[in-house]
Amino acid sequence: MRSSTFFWCLGLLWALLACRVEQPNASTIPQPTPQRLFNVRDYGALGDGKTDDARALKQAIAACAAAGGGRVLVPAGGTYLAGPFDLKSHVEFCVESGATVLANPDPRVYQKSAFRANLGEGTIWMGGENLEQVTICGGGTLDGNGVSFMGAELADSYELKPFSGVDPRPHLLTLVGVRGLRIRDINVRNSAYWTLHLVGCSDVAISDISLLNSLKVRNSDGIDLDHSKNVRITNCYIESGDDCICLKNRREYEEFGACENITVTGCTMTSRSCAIKIGSENMDRISHVVFDNCIVRASNRGVGIQNRDEGTVSDVLFSNMLIESHLFSDVWWGKAEPIYVTAYRRAPGNHKDAGWRFPKGQTEGRVGAVTNISFSNIKCQSENGIYVSGETPDKVAGIFFDQVDVQLNKTTAIAGGIYDRRPSQAEGFVQGRTSGFYLDNATDILVRNSSVRWGPNRPAYYAHALESHGVVGLQAAGLTGESAFPQKLAAVRK
């Protein structure tokens, strides 16, 4: 008993000593620095959908930047009408779920051109230049109020209003020379012109956004990467009248150099023009690009490489895609080609911005080469076939198709049997039979382990599984499928 009592007392003593060990004071534990928060309502924003809150947004953004960075909060429960405003470095512009920032519909407030001295192609609503570490997020909505800037509604589009001097239609977001840009978890909609225009930007991540433009608004591109580098676009849903995702090098911003190192994964797109487009404005180099695990639905074109200027396109990979396309009116470029690879000199200029399409002082341009382009594991359903064509055979070279399956079926009343080369010095619309693969004036094309099938609706101009004209170094290995009319036409025409 004495032994057990001794050990019991010893245990109690240790317990008492442990209780006397000094516990750390909560105030002595390093705490994370709270993010600086700048609520736009504290700067006078009303969020009533009627009063222009641009001044309050500008003041909140300026205060945040002056403090060294933080979060500018557009709180839930309001519609914040606003004219043009700029973002600044180290600012997280957070539009909460349940809040909308809405572009002011008054065209008079939009004065700054989206293309510098070129005044004929829209203005800037949300902008910023030469910035670093900028974030746009929050789950809320950025609304470009696009239809407010349109003319009468037509069957296939809206009329464009005439203008003098500056075209007032605002691009929703134009950022120039930004390093470290993040756009995530935001709803973007109703742009009157291009939606997200990123010029000369680097280290960009766009993820989990919903971008919904009217399918009748011309020029309403979704995401335009212009001379930009090191860009990742992931898990986005995009509907736009014009191109959904477009890579280009505009002449107005030529000092920023090539557009390169671009990856796009897990996106779903619908367009009245081209869901994925490279070009047509390309005065430099576009290269090292990957599109993977994407879906294209109800579009005019699926994938389009459309080189029309002296720049080059090379080292591009498209893989693991579903593409569904069909014909729309001639307002929209394209003739339902699920995959389209072309290189032609631009048509001589005779329109409002013709002076910006060619090298300075010239009225005619030249076209660079499109080389080393790969398409792998792609399933296409369309009214038209794959189209590859160059001004001369050397302008389109090294095009590889592996496990690319094409199913053709006539599904609209719009006339087919046409390929669209706009905007080119050559004929814009080219009459031609619709074949699964239509290859024209190119070098070193490989079609491997691919197939062509035909649906029940086969107009007279439906033709071969593969048709080739002037192609140097064509290889077809493991291509399966008959012509549309096997009793009259061979499967392959070389």
The full set of domains in the chain, from first to last, is 84-493 (2.160.20.10)
pLDDT at 21 over 60: no
Q: What's the whole-number average pLDDT of the chain?
A: 93
% of the chain surpassing 70 pLDDT: 92
The more confidently predicted of residues 348 and 436 is 436
Residue 341 pairs in a beta bridge with: 305, 388
Read off the pLDDT of residues 276-292 as tens digits, 9 standing for 90 and up. 999 999 999 999 999 99
pLDDT at 33 over 70: no
- Residue 364's pLDDT is 87
- Residue 17's pLDDT is 44
Confidence of residue 2 (pLDDT cuts 50, 70, 90): very low
Q: In what helix (H) or strand (E) does residue 15 lie, and over which residues does it extend?
A: helix 2-20
CA distances from 488 to 20, 23, 43, 293, 439 (A): 99, 92, 75, 38, 21
pLDDT at 5 over 60: no
Q: What is the DSSP string of 312-346?
A: EEEEEEEEEEEEEE----TTSS--S-SEEEEE-PP
pLDDT at 269 over 50: yes
Read off the pLDDT of residues 194-214 as tens digits, 9 standing for 90 and up. 999 999 999 999 999 999 999
Going through 241-273 in order, the beta strands assigned E by DSSP cover 245-249, 259-265, 268-271
Confidence of residue 35 (pLDDT cuts 50, 70, 90): confident
The whole-model pTM stands at 0.93
- Residue 290's pLDDT is 99
- Residue 16's pLDDT is 45
The more confidently predicted of residues 24 and 57 is 57
Across the range 215-224, mean pLDDT stands at 98
- Residue 187's pLDDT is 98
pLDDT at 14 over 70: no
Across the range 318-334, mean pLDDT stands at 97
Read off the pLDDT of residues 458-486 as tens digits, 9 standing for 90 and up. 999 999 999 999 999 999 999 999 999 99
Rounded CA-CA distance 377/241 in Å is 27
pLDDT at 23 over 50: no
Tokens of 436: 């699964």
